[in-house]
Structure 1
Amino acid sequence: MKQILKPLILGLGLLTSFGAEAADLAVKPPPVAPAAAVFNWTGFYIGVNGGYGLGQQDPLNLISSRFDRTSFDLSGGFVGGTAGAQIQQGHVVLGVESDIDWANIRGSGTVIPAIAGIPAPITLNLATKTEAIITARARFGMALNNFLLYGTGGAAFLRETADGTSIAGVPCGTAGVLVGCTEAHWRPGLAAGLGAEYAFTPNWTLKGEYLYIAAAGTGASKDHLYLMRFGVNYKF
């Protein structure tokens, strides 16, 4: 009898030990994958930008405020540098940004200046250009990890030139008509736009932006630029 019970007891012991080990294995939690890193937009950054602009400019208003409003179409490229800083709270990103761009946004045409609707005794061949663009703006955006959608608005300054040649009537420099036909001025204005930015590394981002600028001239004169630009920024 004892010879029969010994194998049974031994077998029950082995089964009990195996069951306990299996139970221990069953309750062990599976390994947890590390959480994906979340991009944070807080910090200072510098970068370069460039693009293409279209618009309208009143070159006569640069030369003299006496003439009636006129408008020349402009187009051309620009390139420059950017600097800014921003802070992220949750999905909201707030910041400030400034840029300085060299521009070659040009237009030309022939015009007979008028004063209160009365033509002046001169016909001008005019070339006009926006040769520099400066903005200082606030940015407010919504972050979706490493993708940022934002709006922007603030101050703008345009460096504008007009260069005229008299092709009929009295020449430039005639007293009482035009003292000169070449002028350059800085004009203040406002800038507003929308953009998107994508962080492709922890420090480098790409952005695309549409910006509208309205600059004030003398009296009712207004100059407009519509800029589409792209940039690369490095975030510290």
Structure 2
Amino acid sequence: MTAAALRLVLLPGLNGDGELFAPLLAELPASLHPLILPLPGTGAQDHASLARALRPQLEALDGPFMVLGESFSGALAHRLCNELDHAPLGLILASSFLQRPRTLLPPAALLGSLRGLLLEPWLIKAFCLGPGAAPELVTLVGRQVAQLPTALLNARLEVLRRMRPPPLKLALPTLQLAARQDRLVSGAASRGTAHYCSDLQRIELDGPHFLLQREPRACAQAIAAFAVRLTSRELP
């Protein structure tokens, strides 16, 4: 097998629609074939329910693939990789976590009520994109927050507040892309991923929580190298 035959399935973060993957997609090598699976916008939003909804699409894929879960979807991707009959070659966790991202999280309804404040460009930079973020990127993130229905935002935030570690350890090769300046995920939660992945490669990159958006080239290079590792393992 060659890397040219490998598909990259992308599960988006809290926004759920995949639009924020655009900077990364522009940097990925042609040898990887991306497929974005948006999160369901209706129904229960816990990771078990989302996995049941998305599993048929992954089971229907032909050929080898790997799965990337960004932020909120990291635990979803981890669960799917453990449950799929046709297992992917590997998992990528981007600015993600497999346990509650912070020890204390306020009620989701309170966070949702602060949506207007969350749209302030200086707060988007402070907590999501870091200083020096391009205005168009700040606008993109703000638009994603603004268009997410309040009930859906609250449901996903409540999932994070009630989050528990996964019941099963994952044996598949896993790449963790961790942001050194992540202000949304605690260092303990990020490092705790190692407890739930038996074959973990952790790469720390300078950047904020929205690492795929601020450092897309470095992330794409790490993902491409991981793909080479996976496909090399498959060679006879």
Query: Shared fold (TM-score greater than 0.5)?
Result: no
Point out the structure with the larger strand share: 1
Bigger-Rg structure (1/2): 1
Point out the structure with the larger helix share: 2
Q: Which has the higher contact order (CA 8 A, sep 6+)?
A: 2
